[in-house]
Structure formats: structure tokens, C-alpha cells
């Protein structure tokens, strides 16, 4: 009789894919005298490609001549074939419905847009997330140039590799990892932003400084009043340095597509995501992140990891920038539920980033629910004495 035991035959497939893309900082990108976009298209062999612009409705309202400028620019430089634009909702509305995604797919089909074409996405971080998801899934991936138009998008959301939309109230439940072809940050777009939107973007700079760069944090702290007034030079430095640190982490963490559970760039985000949802997205992402940073810094201090002086400087920075850290939404935050949902978002294993000092992050796999709830209560009741900043080496 033959051997009835099953026989396994295995062929191991293994390959590596190298990714690279430029993140460029400039002003007046559609001015014919600025060669940045034209050079990018030429260098990427896109001079005969079909260019499909997708514009955030908030941006088109504040820059009504954008289409005229873009068409003149493309004609002047003779790069690519410009297709009619698609208007896309701005803000969190971009991620709430698949209607616009389906319209994107239909245009791709009708206009014969293929993988050699280029999607030129112009807008805020949420809109770039949604359009990035659409571009990454049409034809299994159409090249995309991101043109972020908010502080938050230029220093964080628009420079990474993640795309996504919300699903049944769950933030970023559906999405992809798809690096862009390039990122073009035009500082001129920031001139028309509301003060609230400019401020919201600074929260991500505070976050990445706290987990990666003490020198950068000290710079933010020393320039907090200039940043609160949105002065040009400090704002541009803040955006560039914040983007650099995000890019360094993506490149050097060994996990750019987040196959593991450790996500230090999500510092302060487990609570922020839930608070955005509870507020029905009336709370800006950056505003929620600022509260989440304060909450996790307070927990770090009360659990014996963070010095009181460091906590003081964190709270001073956030409050002097103009963030309201005791938002009423805190009273609706269910700590255990929010942590459980974040655990699911991470893939089943809880990993929360906390602080041992400024620029010194640590990942923990357990949170004391009662202690964290005490921190939430203290923050919501303003049971904190926030004085002057303390000097730090």
C-alpha cells in the first residue's frame, strides 16, 4: 500500500520593491515662471500623459482662478494632456461616502485614464486620503501627485503612504498603502486658510517633536507665540521639519506599511480618533490630536514615566498655541471602548505610544483604564495648573 499521508509542496516567493518619491516645498506652483511641476512631469516621463485634476471644493472656492492658472501653465510648458477636473468634497465629508469615489471610477473609464496617466489631487488631508484610495484602486493603481493645501496635509497627512475612507462611522476603516508619485507643497495655499485650520496642523508638529526630536520641540516652544500668530517664517520651518520627521520615520522604522502594531506616529491618536467620531467631526483632526497628546502626556506623568516639568512644557505649548484641551467631548469619551477600537485598528494587539521624556517615546501594551479615566476627568475639568514654560536642556 502507498503512503496515504498528505504531501506538501512549497515554493517560496520572495522579492523586494523599492519606493522613492520627492516631497517639494515651493510657492505659486501654477505660476508659469515656476518650473517645479513641469520639471517633475518631464523627469517622470509624463510629458505625453493624461493629467486628471481633482480639486477640493474648499480650495476651488478660495482660489476661483485655479483652473485658469493651471490650463495656462500646462499650455505654457507643454507637458501632458489636461483633462476636465473633478470637484471633490473637502474636509471629513470627502471620506464619508463612496458616491464621489464611484464618480472618480466612472471618469477614469470614460476618459480612458490608465496607469500611465497622472491624477493631480489638490486639497486638504481628508480629501487627499479619499482620492488617494480611489487612485490606488482604479486599474490597481494610477500614479498620483499630491498637492496638499492645508498645514496638516503639508506636514503630515499628505506626505506619507496611507490612503483611506471611513466606513459606518469608523475612521479610515477602508484604505490602502500606496506611495504617491510626488508631493508638491505650495505655501501660497495656506494664505487663505481659516485660523482654526492653520492652528490644527501645528498639533502634528508637536506630536512628532515629542516622540522624535527634543530640539524641534524646544524650537516650537520658543516660537509658540509667533506660531499662534501664523507668522510666515516660523510656520514654513515648522511644516518642513515636521514633514521631514514624518518621512524619516516612514523610511527608517522598518515598517512603512504598518504590518506590526507599533505606530509611534499615532501618539495621542487613540483618543483623537474617537473624539472626532463622537463630535460627528465637528472637532478638527488636529484639535483632537492636541487633546490626545495632552491626555497621553498626563498619563505618562501620572504613571511615573514623564517629568512634571516636561508635562508642564507640553501643556504650555498646546495652550499658548490656542488649543482648547478641556473640550466638552471629553465627558463622552469611553476609555475602554476607545482603546478596544484602537486595538482592532492596530490588528488585534494594543500598542500605545507614551513618553519617557521630550523626544523619548516608548510603546506599551497595557493601559490602566482607571488611571486613564482619571486623566480624562482632570483634563475635562481643567484640574491642571498650567503656568509658564520651564527651561529644558
- What is the arithmetic mean of pLDDT over 263-288? 91
Does residue 366 carry a pLDDT above 80? yes
Lowest pLDDT segment from 2-11, 242-251, 308-317: 2-11
User: What does the pLDDT read at residue 261?
Assistant: 47
- What is the arithmetic mean of pLDDT over 288-304? 98
E strands present in the chain: 23-26, 50-56, 81-82, 86-88, 118-123, 143-148, 162-167, 170-177, 182-186, 352-357, 360-364
Q: How many residues does the chain have?
A: 393
pLDDT in tens, 123-174: 999 999 999 999 999 999 999 999 999 999 999 989 999 999 988 878 788 9
| 88, 123 contact by CB (below 8 A) | yes
User: What does the pLDDT read at residue 281?
Assistant: 87
- Asked if the domains 23-192 and 208-380 are classified in one and the same CATH topology, the answer is no
Q: Check the CA dihedral 282-285-291-296 and report its sign.
A: positive
User: What does the pLDDT read at residue 343?
Assistant: 86
pTM of the model: 0.89
Lowest pLDDT segment from 28-32, 232-236, 383-387: 383-387
User: For the chain, which residues make up each domain, given as ranges?
Assistant: 23-192, 208-380
Q: Which of 176, 56, 54, 186 is nearest to 118 (CA)?
A: 54
User: What does the pLDDT read at residue 392?
Assistant: 47
DSSP string, 125-137: HHHHHHHHHHHHH
**Residue 278 pLDDT level (bands cut at 50, 70, 90):** very high
- Please state, rounded to an integer, the average pLDDT across all residues of the chain: 92
Rounded to 10 degrees, the C-alpha dihedral 109/138/91/74 comes to -60
Q: How far apart are CA 358 and CA 240, in angstroms?
A: 20
Please indicate whether residue 200 or residue 261 has the higher confidence score (pLDDT): 200
DSSP reduced 3-state for 162: strand
Among the four given CATH numbers 3.30.1360.200, 1.20.1090.10, 3.30.420.40, 1.10.645.10, the one describing domain 208-380: 1.20.1090.10
Domain 23-192 is in which class?
alpha beta
**Residue 252 pLDDT level (bands cut at 50, 70, 90):** confident
- What is the arithmetic mean of pLDDT over 7-12? 88
Within the chain, what is the greatest distance between any pair of CA atoms? 86
Lowest pLDDT segment from 10-24, 55-69, 108-122, 174-188: 10-24
Amino acid at each position: 500500500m502507498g503512503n496515504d499521508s498528505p504531501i506538501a509542496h512549497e515554493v517560496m516567493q520572495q522579492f523586494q520593491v523599492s519606493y522613492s518619491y520627492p516631497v517639494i516645498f515651493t510657492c505659486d506652483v501654477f505660476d508659469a515662471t515656476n518650473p517645479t511641476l513641469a520639471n517633475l512631469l518631464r523627469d517622470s516621463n509624463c510629458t505625453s500623459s493624461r493629467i486628471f485634476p481633482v480639486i477640493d471644493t474648499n480650495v476651488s472656492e478660495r482660489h476661483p482662478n485655479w483652473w485658469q492658472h493651471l490650463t495656462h501653465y500646462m499650455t505654457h510648458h507643454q507637458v501632458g494632456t489636461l483633462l476636465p477636473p473633478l470637484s471633490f468634497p473637502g474636509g471629513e465629508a470627502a471620506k464619508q461616502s463612496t458616491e464621489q469615489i464611484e464618480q472618480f471610477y466612472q471618469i477614469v473609464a470614460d476618459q480612458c485614464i490608465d496607469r500611465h496617466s497622472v491624477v493631480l489631487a489638490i486639497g486638504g488631508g481628508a480629501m487627499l486620503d479619499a482620492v488617494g484610495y480611489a487612485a490606488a484602486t482604479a486599474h490597481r493603481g494610477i500614479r498620483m501627485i499630491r498637492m496638499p493645501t492645508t498645514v496638516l496635509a503639508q506636514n503630515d497627512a499628505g506626505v506619507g503612504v496611507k490612503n483611506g475612507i471611513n466606513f459606518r462611522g469608523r475612521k479610515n476603516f477602508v484604505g490602502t498603502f500606496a506611495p504617491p508619485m510626488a508631493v508638491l507643497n505650495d505655501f501660497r495655499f495656506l494664505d487663505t486658510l481659516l485660523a482654526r485650520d492653520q492652528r490644527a496642523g501645528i498639533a502634528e508638529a508637536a506630536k512628532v517633536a515629542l516622540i522624535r526630536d527634543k530640539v524641534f520641540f524646544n524650537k516650537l516652544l520658543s516660537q509658540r507665540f509667533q506660531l499662534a500668530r501664523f507668522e510666515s517664517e516660523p510656520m514654513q520651518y515648522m511644516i518642513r521639519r515636521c514633514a521631514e520627521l514624518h518621512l524619516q520615520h516612514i523610511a527608517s522604522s522598518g515598517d512603512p506599511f504598518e504590518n506590526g502594531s507599533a505606530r509611534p506616529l499615532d501618539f495621542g491618536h487613540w483618543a483623537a480618533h474617537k473624539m472626532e467620531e463622537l463630535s460627528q467631526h465637528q472637532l478638527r483632526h488636529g484639535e483632537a490630536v492636541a487633546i490626545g497628546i495632552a491626555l497621553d502626556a498626563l498619563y505618562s506623568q501620572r504613571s511615573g514615566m514623564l517629568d512634571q516639568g516636561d508635562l508642564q512644557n507640553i501643556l504650555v505649548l498646546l495652550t499658548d498655541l490656542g488649543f482648547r484641551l478641556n473640550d466638552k467631548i471629553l465627558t463622552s469619551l469611553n476609555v475602554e471602548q476607545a482603546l478596544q477600537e484602537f486595538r482592532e485598528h492596530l490588528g488585534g494587539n494594543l500598542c500605545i505610544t507614551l513618553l519617557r521624556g521630550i523626544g523619548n517615546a516608548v510603546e506599551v501594551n497595557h493601559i490602566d483604564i482607571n488611571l486613564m479615566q482619571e486623566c480624562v476627568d482632570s483634563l475635562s475639568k481643567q484640574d491642571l495648573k498650567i503656568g509658564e514654560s520651564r527651561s529644558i536642556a
